[in-house]
Structure formats: C-alpha cells, structure tokens
Structure 1
Amino acid sequence: MTPVRSLARAMLSGIFVVSGYRNLRNPGRLAVAAKPVTDKVAPMLKKAHPNFPTETETLIRLNAAVQVGAGLMLATGRFSRPAALVLAGTLVPVTVAGHPFWNNDDPIAKNNNEIHTLKNLGLFGGLLLAATDTGGKPGIRWRTGHRIGHSRRSMQRAVRTARREARIAVRSAATARRLPG
C-alpha cells in the first residue's frame, strides 16, 4: 500500500474510531436523538432476529463498536474495502438520527445540521471510493475475466494440439499400412 493510501485511510477512519469510542463509553448522550430512529428500526430487527436487542442505548453501543472495529480495519489496511462499506452503512442511521435538519425550525440549528449532513455525505463518498480502491492492483472483475480468457486460450491450444496429433497418427497409420510387411 502506498504512503498516500495509508495516510488517507487513516485520516478517513479517524472520525469513526474517535466518535465510536466516545459513543461506546457514553451512549446516553445520544439516546434522545436516536430514539425516534431506533423505534422505527426495532420492529424490523425483531422480525429478522427475535433475540436481537432493540434498546436505544444498546443499538448506539453496537453501532459505535462497529465503527471502532471497522475504522481500525480501514486505518490498518486489513479488509479495508469491506470495512469501508460497513462504515458507510453506519453513517446512514447516524445522519438520520443525529442531524435531521428537515425537522429543525431554528435557522441556526437547521444550518448546523445541514452542514453535518453534508459532511457525512462527503465521508460517505470517501468511503465509497475506499471501498472500490484496489490499491493499484487489478480488481476481481478484471482478474476473473483475465483468468477466463487465459483458460479459454489454453483450451484452444489443447484442442489444436490434439487435432495435430490425431492427423499425425492418421498419417502414421496410413504409412504403416502401405509398408510391406
């Protein structure tokens, strides 16, 4: 990994690690803002997994733990592409719960939340770039196509070789029949 990629990933992941750690330690400060979102998500979680916890503070802690873990993976370059996708997924509830500018009547609060929403959209875009970054190496799609092409060419060579050997065998058999003996 190049130094620029390493630095960029560390810089991008920093906010997730720090805020995730803070939210993991003190989820209560976000509970009031997160409650409307968790109340809407809880029935879906219960339906998908009956034993899944749906308390607001527990979901905040879970999201925070995921942010810390995925942030560290992105920063260290371990499974950085999946980690970037996971972090992008954690931004959605954070933005909806934490920065609902569409609900603000106060122009200052609305402006502040709009700025944070745009910041999160920028982070989301950066995470999408990180999720598609192959580090200068060919992606899976190219490698798969290259392997298929290589296999196809190998098979064609094998068929040509088999045909040539069959023609040689036929000629040898015909020559052997003509010889007295």
Structure 2
Amino acid sequence: MGVTGFIGRALLASIFIKNGIDHLQNPEPIVRAAKGAEIPQPELAVKANSAVMVGAGALLALGIAPRAASTALAASLVPTTVIGHPFWDKSGSERFHQQTHFMKNLALFGALLAVGSRR
C-alpha cells in the first residue's frame, strides 16, 4: 500500500486511539451508559472496549494485521454506537445530535469494512 493508504489508515485509526485513551482516563460517563444499557460488568466492558480501540487502532495505523485490526474495531463500534447514541429515545436537538454521531459511526464502520476487505 502506498503513502495515501498509510495516511488513510492512520487517520481512520486516530479517532479510535484517541477515544480509547480518553475512555481509559475518564471511564465514568461511558460506564454510566453501559450500566443504563444493563451491560454485565460495565467497568470491565468499558476497559476491554477501550483497550481494543487503542490496541487495534495502533495496529491499523501501523499497517500490522489491518484486516484483524479493522474487524476488531468494527466489532467494538457496534455496541458503542447502539449504547452511546440512542437517537430513537431522544427528541429535538438532542435527537439530531445523537443521530449525527450514530451516522458518523456508521460511516466509520463502512470505512473499516473497506479497509478490512483490501488485499
């Protein structure tokens, strides 16, 4: 893969690495959301998901096992999106805000699928 592929992977990975680090440093809001969604062992779930984001994000950025890294990130994005951005439960500007983040995560999911399917 050329320079543009490297830059693209690094840019895609950057949001996962940053959010993973942020969630490890300040897990309380994410843990509250996980508790509200009745996720078993929410503290452990948040730590595990954050570790996947940092670890798989770093691998993706470096081009090491990009298929496995993008698959792990895509899998971690599903509960993050559904639990973190439930726009269907909101109204007004909060609904718009959550729906925007939900759609952004769907776009990230699509980008991860595209990266993971490259040969």
| TM-score, normalization by structure 2 | 0.95
**Partner residue, 2:15:** 15
Match in the other structure for 2:29: 29
Please tell me whether residue 72 in structure 1 is matched to residue 61 in structure 2.
Answer: no
Write the mapping of 1:166-181 to structure 2, written as runs, cut at 5 A. Answer: none
Stretches of 4+ moved more than 6 A in 1?
none
Which protein has the larger Cα radius of gyration, Structure 1 or Structure 2?
A: 1
- 1:90 corresponding residue in structure 2: 76
Q: Which residue of 1 aligns with 2:95?
A: 110
| Deviation digits for residues 77-99 of structure 1 (CA, Å, limit 9, x no counterpart) | 00011100110000011111110
Which amino acid letter does the alignment assign opposite residue 9 of structure 1? R
Displacement of 1:7 = 0.4
**Gapped regions of structure 2 (runs ≥ 5):** none
Percent identical among aligned pairs is 39
1:127 aligns with 2:98: no
Aligned mates of 2:35, 2:118 — CA distance in 1: 35
Shift of 1:36: 3.1
Give the 3-state SS of the residue equivalent to 1:78 in structure 2.
coil
For residues 11 and 30 of structure 1, the distance between their equivalents in structure 2, rounded to whole angstroms, comes to 24
Give a deviation string over 1:29-52, Cα, whole Å, max 9, x none.
Answer: 212222133x2x53xxxxxxxxxx
The letter of the residue matching 2:34 is A
Q: How many residues align?
A: 119
Could you list the runs of 5+ residues in structure 1 that have no partner in the other structure? 43-54, 135-181
Q: Quick one: distance in 2 between partners of 1:126 and 1:35?
A: 29
Tell which has more relative contact order, 1 or 2 (C-alpha 8 A, sep 6+).
Answer: 2
Q: Distance in 2 between matches of 1:19 and 1:68?
A: 8
Q: Which residue of 1 aligns with 2:43?
A: 57
